[in-house]
Amino acid sequence: MDSDSDSFQAFFSLLWINPMVEIGLNLILLVILLVISAIISAAEMAYFSLQPADIFILQKSNKPQAALVLTFLERSKPLLSTLLVTNTFVNIAIVLVVGLLLNDCFTSEYISIIQFFIAWLLIVCVGEIAPKLYGSQKPIELAMGLSNFVRIIQFFSSPANFVLVNFTQLIEKRIKKRLNLTQHTEVSQQDIEQVIDIAMNKTQYAQREVNMIKSLVKFANKMVRSAMRTRGEIIAVAKTDSFEEIIATFRHSAYSRLPVYEEDLDTIVGILHFRDVIWYLSQSDKWKIDTVIREPYFVPENKKLDDLLADFQLEKQHLAVVIDEFGQTTGIITLEDVLENIVGEIDDEFDEPELELYQIIDDKNFIFQATVSLETMLEITQIDPERFVDLRQDSETLAGLLLILYQQMPQKGEIIQFEELEFTILEANERKIVRVRLTILSQNQTSNIPDDF
């Protein structure tokens, strides 16, 4: 019995005294720690890069690992705490083991610097960058495959997690209290657009899709008057027009619906559908407009576009007559006009090419069609909207703004100055402004672009 005990003691003393054995054990331990660090980093990236579509796939899956992943995601703070705490301990252990290996192999006064550099290189390359790149490529597979591993480390790190999570919540409450923040802090439209830009930059979305999402954000705040076709753009038929005149108007406009008025556009009495008219092409003698016109659908110009879209769906309407507070017709708006505020311009085979609403010459000079909305003009030029708060209450377009500023119909070549903004009329007639150049002037600066640009 004593001989056996002596042999064991001799074996272990040889094991720990032999430098080569110690170096070998430290190398094995270093590899194990690097593998654990890589797994934790891959798990962190996999869990926190899951998109809504990925979560939907997990919800439809019958695998127990999928249910476990969803459970972790429901309690994301403890999950993140588990991964960070464990990875921190592992990385500290890597630094210590690297130090032991270097002390066994080298003797130098710069050993600490060498230790730091080697440990940093191993942790960043092997334990962070490579596994996180892999985790971002296959988040669902990795999240499910590492779910049991995460559950194990979550069990062993639960005491540290409890302390860390509660401590961070305490700090968060104190910061909110000191800054007078509430859970219902208002988020501005600009904040939402910045979040969209940040999120989209990390994915392979086309610019058109990004613009569509931004349009949806703005859509809820847009009024009917910002999307309608103005009174001057309305093509309508009089109730007293002959059948031939109505057919000619339909042919000329290429529209499928036209408003019908009695005396003028303020007395619109119905909407005429072309499909109701074509039945009388071979029997025009039986034509009676009262039998085919449909009830007009009126909406106020300050109605929200999202509410109008819901009404169009509910009432099964495609065209609405826009009226002001006095009941006068200010324009019309179609379902297509509403949808274009989300998806952009919708052209069909009958639409003629339209002139560009704006042209950017440089960061100080712009050319606009006078029908462009003030909202679009301010967005393109990056001018502070607060400058036009009072004026925008009375006008929605650039032409309306210029008429308010000038108090009469300007002619071609005339210049309208507003603060450091210079509006030059490039094209106009006796009835309307067509095209305008906007120059943003600095102090003591004059425009040097020719008027016939």
Indicate if 395 and 335 belong to the same structural domain: no
Query: Does 1 reside within a domain?
Result: no
Report DSSP state, residue 351: P
- Dump pLDDT digits (tens) for 371-380: 887 877 888 8
Number of domains the chain contains: 4
Distance CA 380, CA 358 (A): 9
- Dump pLDDT digits (tens) for 83-112: 888 888 898 988 888 888 887 676 667 777
* Candidate from 25-29, 185-189, 229-233, 318-322 with smallest mean pLDDT: 185-189
Task: Give the pLDDT band (50/70/90) at residue 444.
Answer: very low
Query: Does 353 reside within a domain?
Result: no
* Candidate from 19-23, 147-151, 435-439 with smallest mean pLDDT: 19-23
Query: Does 453 reside within a domain?
Result: no
The pLDDT of 271-296, averaged and rounded, is 88
Torsion of CA 50, 51, 53, 56, to 10 degrees: 50
**Strand boundaries in 352-432, DSSP class E:** 358-362, 365-369, 415-418, 421-428
Indicate if 251 and 332 belong to the same structural domain: yes
Our CA angle for 444, 449, 450, nearest 5°, is 125
Indicate if 146 and 280 belong to the same structural domain: no
3-state SS of 98-132 is HHHHHHHHCCCCCHHHHHHHHHHHHHHHHHHHHHH
Indicate if 89 and 236 belong to the same structural domain: no
Indicate if 200 and 270 belong to the same structural domain: no
Last residue of a domain, one of 286, 316, 343: 343
Cβ atoms within 10 Å, residue 156: 11
The pLDDT of 363-389, averaged and rounded, is 81
CA 45 to chain centre: 23
* pLDDT above 50 for 339: yes
Judge contact between 315 and 297, C-beta under 8 A: yes
Query: Does 35 reside within a domain?
Result: yes
Indicate if 20 and 109 belong to the same structural domain: yes
Query: Does 406 reside within a domain?
Result: yes
pTM of the model: 0.50
Phi, psi of 147 (to 5 degrees): -60, -40
Closest CA to 289 of 326, 250, 354, 238: 238
Indicate if 230 and 209 belong to the same structural domain: no
- pLDDT confidence of residue 322: 92
* Candidate from 113-122, 340-349, 429-438 with smallest mean pLDDT: 340-349
Q: Which two tokens stand for residue 236?
A: 């309508």
Query: Does 183 reside within a domain?
Result: no
How far from 202 is each of 195, 214, 270, CA to CA, in Å? Answer: 11, 16, 51
Indicate if 207 and 107 belong to the same structural domain: no
- Dump pLDDT digits (tens) for 27-55: 888 899 999 999 989 988 988 888 888 88
Question: In which domain, by residue range, is 382 found?
Answer: 358-440
Indicate if 141 and 26 belong to the same structural domain: yes
Indicate if 229 and 215 belong to the same structural domain: no
Indicate if 232 and 308 belong to the same structural domain: yes
Q: Any alpha helices (H) in 146-240, and if so which ranges?
A: 147-156, 158-178, 189-201, 207-219
Query: Does 331 reside within a domain?
Result: yes
Last residue of a domain, one of 116, 146, 175: 175
Indicate if 313 and 424 belong to the same structural domain: no
How far from 430 is each of 80, 104, 252, 411, 434, CA to CA, in Å? Answer: 68, 94, 25, 8, 11
Long-range contacts of 14-23 (CB under 8 A, 24+ apart): 19/104, 22/104, 23/101, 23/104, 23/105
Last residue of a domain, one of 312, 343, 374: 343
Closest CA to 258 of 277, 271, 246: 271
Query: Does 452 reside within a domain?
Result: no
- pLDDT confidence of residue 333: 92
How far from 14 is each of 8, 21, 25, 220, CA to CA, in Å? Answer: 10, 9, 14, 78
